[in-house]
Amino acid sequence: MSITDILDILIVSVLIYEIARWIKNTRAWTLLKGIMLLVFVAMAAYVFQLHTISWLINNTMGVGVTAAIIVFQPELRNALEQLGRKNPIVNLFSSDESRDEKIGYTDRTIQEIVRATIEMSKVKTGALIVLEREVPLGEYERTGIPVDAKMSSQLLINIFEHNTPLHDGAVIVRSNRIVSATCYLPLSDSLEIGKELGTRHRAAVGISEVSDSVTIVVSEETGGVSIAQGGRIYRGLTPQQLRDRLAVVKSDYSDGRKFRLWKGLNRNERKIRK
């Protein structure tokens, strides 16, 4: 094998790694799963001679690719910007600590969020709290003001207090830290959302439609507590129901801890020292 062959393999490997890394850290991961499902259906249609399904897939493939490029245009632009800013060779051998840290939420974090939500509900303080999970929310985080503070109920209450600079918009929480405030979220145009619900509730459903996040809403008019997840909103939650709904993000934390066992002894040793 010549030096040229080795260089060729190295360049292709770096490109594949960077593309896979980009897909994992954006909404494109959801698109990839859909594409894989379509490929599986197409293969099954070919094997079992399902001519109608094969015809539909073949004739909609071109339109689907164009639609995907339009829908994921922000992610594609961001990927090209990152490619220009970063050194792919360095990235290949560096660990993604920020993504490794984002593994879920501890009991203490959930307790602080529930405590703040209950207190704001009592005095009808409007709030919008987004808990990031596997799908990164960086594009929405950048629309707000960086906070990067340890989670506490008092801080959340202060952020959403009336007439404070940060009370408008959403707070994004990642890995037990409040990372950004006054964030703009996409509004849902779903007809299933009641007309009596305002912008906060539509924003909560909107972000849940484009990510796997869990979003807590406190109504400024009624003080009612709701959670949006998976494109649906669950209203009128009691404190115990809120805790039960947030159990899913606590399971992320335990699953993440198990997964990190595969990350290597050195990284685990760093966690222990902390």
Regarding whether 113 and 83 lie in a shared domain, the answer is no
Could you tell me which residue, 191 or 239, shows the higher pLDDT? 239
pLDDT of residue 200: 92
Which domain-ending residue is among 72, 94, 116? 94
**Letter for the amino acid at 129?**
I
- Is residue 208 in some structural domain? yes
H, E, C per residue of 128-171: EEEECCCCCCHHHHCCCEEEEEECCHHHHHHHHCCCCCCCCCEE
pLDDT of residue 274: 43
- Is residue 269 in some structural domain? no
pLDDT of residue 233: 92
Regarding whether 140 and 24 lie in a shared domain, the answer is no
- Is residue 263 in some structural domain? no
pLDDT of residue 141: 92
Regarding whether 130 and 234 lie in a shared domain, the answer is yes
Spatial contact of 16 and 8, defined as CB atoms under 8 Å apart: no
Helix axes 28-47, 51-71, angle to 10 degrees: 170
Question: Residue 164: CA atoms inside 13 Å, Cβ hemisphere, count?
Answer: 16
* Mean of pLDDT values over 224-248: 91
Could you tell me which residue, 128 or 11, shows the higher pLDDT? 128
Regarding whether 125 and 84 lie in a shared domain, the answer is no
Spatial CB neighbours of 205, under 8 Å, sequence gap ≥ 6:
188, 190, 193, 228, 231, 232, 233
Could you tell me which residue, 41 or 117, shows the higher pLDDT? 117
Which residue range(s) make up the domain with 136?
Answer: 107-256
* Mean of pLDDT values over 189-216: 87
Regarding whether 132 and 74 lie in a shared domain, the answer is no
pLDDT at 94 over 70: no
Total tally of structural domains belonging to the chain = 2
pLDDT tens digits, 66-86:
777 776 676 666 666 556 655
pLDDT of residue 30: 66
- Is residue 222 in some structural domain? yes
pLDDT tens digits, 132-187:
988 888 889 999 999 999 999 999 999 999 888 888 899 999 989 999 999 999 99
CATH of the domain at 213: 3.40.1700.10
- Is residue 267 in some structural domain? no
Regarding whether 249 and 126 lie in a shared domain, the answer is yes
For 203, the token pair is 């924003």
Q: Using pLDDT thresholds of 50, 70 and 90, give the confidence band for residue 257.
A: very low
- Is residue 129 in some structural domain? yes
pLDDT of residue 167: 87
Could you tell me which residue, 73 or 210, shows the higher pLDDT? 210
Spatial contact of 151 and 109, defined as CB atoms under 8 Å apart: yes
Q: Using pLDDT thresholds of 50, 70 and 90, give the confidence band for residue 260.
A: very low
- Is residue 102 in some structural domain? no
Regarding whether 141 and 86 lie in a shared domain, the answer is no
User: 238 to each of 16, 118, 226, 242, how far by Cα in Å?
Assistant: 47, 9, 9, 6
Regarding whether 167 and 70 lie in a shared domain, the answer is no
Regarding whether 199 and 128 lie in a shared domain, the answer is yes
pLDDT tens digits, 112-136:
999 999 999 999 999 999 999 888 8
**Whole-number average pLDDT of the chain:** 79
pLDDT of residue 271: 42
Alpha-carbon span 245 to 237, nearest angstrom = 9
